[in-house]
Amino acid sequence: MSKARVTLVGAGPGDPELITVKGLKALADADVVLYDALIHPDILKYAPSKALQIFVGKKKGVCQFPQEDINRLIVENALEFGHVVRLKGGDP
């Protein structure tokens, strides 16, 4: 297992081609990706196929996660799997 670490990545305004190179590198190195409702599905394709992808979005009618639960998931997954990327729409 890798050392536990967390990277916050802003996916930009929605167009999957506007994510930063540094963000793509972090995503390509992720063991776990926690993403929200504003993430374009094509961005998730940059994560390794073995990476666990967890939707933690806050969208009406869809599973809603309080921030405390998201924080807990980040810590638990980082300790268990290694590199967690918290992928957010816009600029975190």
Domain ranges of the chain: 5-88
**pLDDT exceeds 60 at position 1:** no
pLDDT band of 64, cuts 50, 70, 90? confident
Q: Which two tokens stand for residue 36?
A: 């929200």
Residue 82 gets the label, from left (phi > 0), alpha (psi -120 to 50) or beta, of left
Mean pLDDT of the 65-88 span: 96
> Which architecture, in CATH terms, is 5-88?
3-Layer(aba) Sandwich (3.40)
Who contacts 33 (Cβ-Cβ below 8 Å, separation ≥6)? Answer: 27, 44, 47, 51, 52, 53, 54, 84, 85, 87
pTM of the model: 0.91
Average pLDDT over every residue of 51-75: 88
State how far the Cα of 3 lies from the Cα of 56, in Å rounded to an integer.
23
Report CA torsion sign: 69, 38, 35, 85. negative
